[in-house]
Amino acid sequence: MGWFKTIVGGAIGFAITGGPLGAVLGAMAADAVFPGRARERAPRLTRGEERQTLFFVGTFSMLAKLAQADGQVTRDEIDAIDAFMRDQLRLDDPTRAFAIDIFRKAKESDHAFEEFATQFATTFARDPQVKEMLIDVLLRVSIADAELHPNEERMIKSAADIFGFSRDDYLRMRARVIPDVSPYYRILGCSPNDSDDDIRKKYRRLAKEYHPDNIIAKGMPEEFVELANRKFQDLQDAYDRVSAERGMR
């Protein structure tokens, strides 16, 4: 992971300036996370590396605030986030340690969840797929303990609002993670009342937008590209099931 090697090589102080995400990285740079690093000799990040860093920091900062939604950060929630890093993202030990440091600094931050979401939304204003991927991550980690706490869902809905998603958009994203009466239709952003042609059109549009190659082009860290691959597979599976159910050709 090139961007991460650059960060640990000393560029953390130049990664992001301003806003709650910059404050988190600033706290890490000032701490003993990377002892002996000389900021004045550190390489600056490229624009792509900066975006990858911001996505990574934004994800684990918002997860930290989400973990506090029910009043305390429980052992189950820590285990769920650790399992997500290990099993879903397959982070190696140094990158996982970096994510844990982000989580701790964000948890101690005075900035609210919505402030992190707002800076993230501004940075990725033209990338709805990236914002949707973060909503997906928040949902998946939230239900890892088999329960979506009302305060957790309230916060995730607030992020969806800040990101510019409609209620139907949120329900579609939620259905990918938390099945409801018609999860496959919701994954496709459709309803059982839609025509076969409408379903085909919506599927093709989503398949193009969320194809892993498109996510790679957005400059996301490779672990999140792998997550996008699984999300893309969910979309294909939903279309196959709806097609079979309706006898579509």
36 pLDDT exceeds 50? no
Q: Is the predicted pLDDT of residue 32 greater than 60, yes or no?
A: no
What pLDDT shows up at residue 64? 94
| Spatial separation of the C-alpha atoms in residues 82 and 136, rounded to whole Å | 17
Mean pLDDT of 146-175: 89
> Residues 46, 52, 58, 60: is their CA dihedral positive or negative?
negative
How much is the pLDDT for 40? 47
65 has pLDDT over 90: yes
Q: What is the pLDDT of residue 117?
A: 97
Which range of residues forms the domain containing residue 25?
Answer: 2-246
pLDDT tens per residue across span 113-135: 999 999 999 999 999 999 999 99
Residue 23 has pLDDT above 80, yes or no: yes
pLDDT, averaged across the chain: 82
Residue 74's Cα: distance from chain center in Å? 21
Distances (CA, A) of 141 to 14, 41, 131: 30, 38, 16
What does the pLDDT read at residue 60? 94
Please give the residue that has the higher pLDDT: either 212 or 104.
Answer: 104
Entry pTM = 0.69
pLDDT score of 38: 45
pLDDT above 80: residue 14: no
Number of structural domains (the chain) is 1
pLDDT digits (tens, 9 = 90+) for 80-111: 888 888 887 888 888 888 888 899 999 999 99
Q: Looking at per-residue confidence, does 157 or 192 come out higher?
A: 157
Cα 148 to chain centroid, rounded: 17
pLDDT tens, residue by residue, 216-228 = 888 888 778 888 8
Query: Which of 45-59, 70-84, 182-196, 199-213 has the weakest average pLDDT?
Result: 70-84
For the chain, the C-alpha Rg in angstroms (whole number) is 19
Rounded distance between C-alpha atoms, residue 214 and residue 209, angstroms: 7
pLDDT of residue 28: 77
In the numeric block, which tokens belong to residue 107?
Answer: 């948890």
Helices (H), the chain: 2-6, 12-15, 19-30, 47-67, 75-83, 93-108, 113-123, 128-142, 150-162, 167-177, 183-187, 196-209, 212-217, 222-246
Per the rule left: phi > 0, alpha: psi between -120 and 50, beta: everything else, 190 is: beta
Q: What is the pLDDT of residue 26?
A: 80
Residue 103: its pLDDT value, please?
A: 93
